[in-house]
Structure 1
Amino acid sequence: MKFEKLLDEIPKLINGIDDNEFITKVSSNKWSKQEILGHLCDSAVNNHSRFVRIILTEEPISIDGYKQDEWVRIHDYQNNYSKSDLLTLWIQLNKQILNVIRNASELDFNKQCILSDKSRVTLCWLFDDYLSHMLHHIKQIKS
């Protein structure tokens, strides 16, 4: 499974980045690599809840977005976490998602939810979107 591979590879990537490089902000309005990883933790929290709600509900649920910049600001990932602690959090949150996804049935993957723009997507689509979003930000961390 692609997701399991990421859970193995991303910690190696993060641990290979110098601590000073990891916390450096290229500008005041851009996230540091540390803040990007914090954002990925916020994404995991939000999506875990979405995935569980979809699986446990028969009717399509509505999914709202969240204020990602404010989430990063209020957690203050730049100053309140070490790289190690943040990486541990990211790993544990995604292991929790992995367990949910592993326990989802084919029927669950076909359940729908309603996005904020009123379009309907399946759990399968939403999980794939979660992975794409993660990969987008991992590219930013690599650069």
Structure 2
Amino acid sequence: MLQRPLTSEYPEYYVPYVILVPEGDLLTILSEDLNNTIVLFKGISDEDGHFRYAPNKWSIKEVLGHMTDTERIMSYRLLRIGRGDQTALAGFNENDYVEGSQINNHSFKDILEDFIATRKATITLIKNMPTEAWGYKGNANNTEVTTRAIGYIIAGHAIHHKKIISKNYLVAKK
């Protein structure tokens, strides 16, 4: 079982994500989170996917698209660092990615399917990561991070955004 990362293994701004990850096997947590994500988003229509709980907030579609983009980027970082690549990896601006995706033009079903495919690929990557690679350190967004921490950041990031969806979007929509 993969050990929870120490706070020295990732930048402080990821603490809110990592602390959301429950105790247990990371692969099981990611698999269960995928099922929970499907349940949460399955009944949302294309029309409801455009809902924003406040001005200048992302739509539900944009939040799910952001979750997918971020998981892809973090999985790429996990792959690079987990393979021992010491190349400094660039950061990204999530607002630019949301705007550039034009995700509101896609069906909600397609956006959810994209997240599902991305999460399955993340699970496969983690499942096949060599044991010794979990302690590897690399540089992403001008900060040091371990492969292990990235796995937990991926899980916690999705949990974080699903809490926001449940609290601010789905409750406000009723």
Q: TM-score under structure 1 normalisation?
A: 0.88
Read off the aligned partner of 1:72 and give its amino acid letter. V
Quote the residue 2:88 is aligned against. Answer: 62
RMSD, matched Cα: 1.7
Q: How many residues align?
A: 140
1:100 aligns with 2:125: yes
| Aligned partner (choices 43, 57, 60) of residue 70 of structure 2 | 43
Corresponding residue number in structure 1 for 2:157: 133
Which residue identity is paired with 2:33?
L
Alignment of 1:1-143 (within 5 A): 1-57=28-84, 59-78=85-104, 80-118=105-143, 120-143=144-167
Shift of 1:16: 3.1
8 Å Cα contact 1:24/1:32 also seen in 2: yes
Whether the aligned pair in 1 keeps the contact of 2:90 and 2:142 (CA below 8 Å) is no
Q: Which has the higher contact order (CA 8 A, sep 6+)?
A: 2
Letter in 2 for 1:103: N
TM-superposed CA distance for 1:18, in Å, is 4.9
Q: How many Å apart are 1:32 and its aligned residue? A: 1.1
1:108 positional shift: 0.9
Contact 1:22 1:32 survives alignment (8 Å): yes
Check the 8 A contact 1:23/1:33 in 2, yes or no: yes
- Residue ranges of structure 2 left out of the alignment (5+ in a row): 1-27, 168-174
Taking the aligned partners of 1:46 and 1:116, their CA distance within structure 2 comes to 11
- Once superposed, which parts of structure 1, at least 4 consecutive aligned residues long, lie more than 6 Å away? none
TM-aligned CA deviation for residue 116 of structure 1:
2.9
Percent identical: 24
Render the CA deviation track for 1:22-65: whole Å, top value 9, x for unaligned: 321234410011110000111122112111111222x5342332
Q: Using the alignment, how far apart are the partners of 1:112 and 1:61 within structure 2?
A: 11
Unaligned runs of 5+ in 1: none
Q: Residue 62 of structure 1: SS of its match in structure 2? A: coil
